[in-house]
Amino acid sequence: MIFYLIIFLLITNLILIFTINKNKIKKLIYKSKIKSVNLEKLDSVFINNRIDKNLYGPKHDAIVKNFCIVPGNNIVGMTSDYEAWIISSLSKKSDNIFEFGTCSGKTTFLMALNSPKNANITTLTLGPKNLSELKLSKLDNKVSFRNIVNESIYEKFLFSDTEYENKINVLFENSLNFDENKHVGAFDLIFIDGGHTYSIVKNDSEKSFRMLRQNGIILWHDFVPGKESAKNVVKYINSISKDKKIFHIKNTSLCYYRNN
């Protein structure tokens, strides 16, 4: 009897320890090969101004136009407010921007709000009508595939019918069929946040490396080791980390590469 009680207590303790330290344990199992850095390493615009001996704040160039989605407005697939601020600040000095994955258009709208007046933003996405073109490949994660279906529901976007819409070119096209040859070396900023399956992340990243101009920046969203739906994003980025200098930005799910 005592023996069974000890076994029972041991198992309950193990479950408790696992539940409390779930994230730490996951991090150990799904090890990232990407170095995490402070935001200032990405760009000098993020180096804070010293306002007082105990107060630091954003530079003028990192003050951005913003909006929030109220909780309860069930918009799917969004960046956090901190990530959105980073993208908005970089948009301020980007004349030509490309985004893989529009979804509701939250990030696209922020890019349009903050980029220079004559900037161009191209955003590539799938609408409900394009879904029949999608196929699961051998290495693709099934949860990520299901998310693509759940996120390809918009035909109008948060920026539709606003004065910013004329800066934005929406392409309803499967990125696997997208021809990047006309855009080689064209973009200052590329945001990869389309399908999170292995075949799509690989395709979107390889095309982005070709489309990036000198000193331009690629940002990947959803680099979260241990998160099932982000598994293929982590796997792909880890796999190219030997050849490309990619960094993870602390306190975000963003990774970046700068072409210099």
Question: Footprint of ligand SAM on this chain (CB under 6 A)?
Answer: 77-79, 99, 101-104, 106-107, 124-126, 148, 151-152, 174-176, 193-195, 200
Q: Which is nearer to ligand SAM, 79 or 205 (CB)?
A: 79
Q: Cβ of residue 86: shortest distance to ligand SAM, in angstroms?
A: 12
Q: What is the CA radius of gyration of the chain?
A: 20
Q: Which is nearer to ligand SAM, 59 or 135 (CB)?
A: 135
Q: Which is nearer to ligand SAM, 25 or 78 (CB)?
A: 78
What string of DSSP letters covers the chain? Answer: -HHHHHHHHHHHHHHHHHHHTHHHHHHHHS---SEEE-GGGT-GGGSPEEEETTEEE--GGG------PPTTS---S---HHHHHHHHHHHTT-SEEEEE--TTSHHHHHHHHHS-TT-EEEEEE--GGGGGG----TT--HHHHHHHHHH---SS-TTTTSTTGGGEEEEES-GGG--GGGGTT-EEEEEE-S--SHHHHHHHHHHHHHHEEEEEEEEES---TT-GGGHHHHHHHHHHTTTS-EEEETTSS-EEEE--
Q: Cβ of residue 175: shortest distance to ligand SAM, in angstroms?
A: 4
Q: Which is nearer to ligand SAM, 196 or 248 (CB)?
A: 196
Q: Which is nearer to ligand SAM, 40 or 228 (CB)?
A: 228
Q: Cβ of residue 242: shortest distance to ligand SAM, in angstroms?
A: 26
Q: Which is nearer to ligand SAM, 103 or 121 (CB)?
A: 103
Q: Cβ of residue 231: shortest distance to ligand SAM, in angstroms?
A: 15
Q: Cβ of residue 55: shortest distance to ligand SAM, in angstroms?
A: 31
Q: Cβ of residue 68: shortest distance to ligand SAM, in angstroms?
A: 13
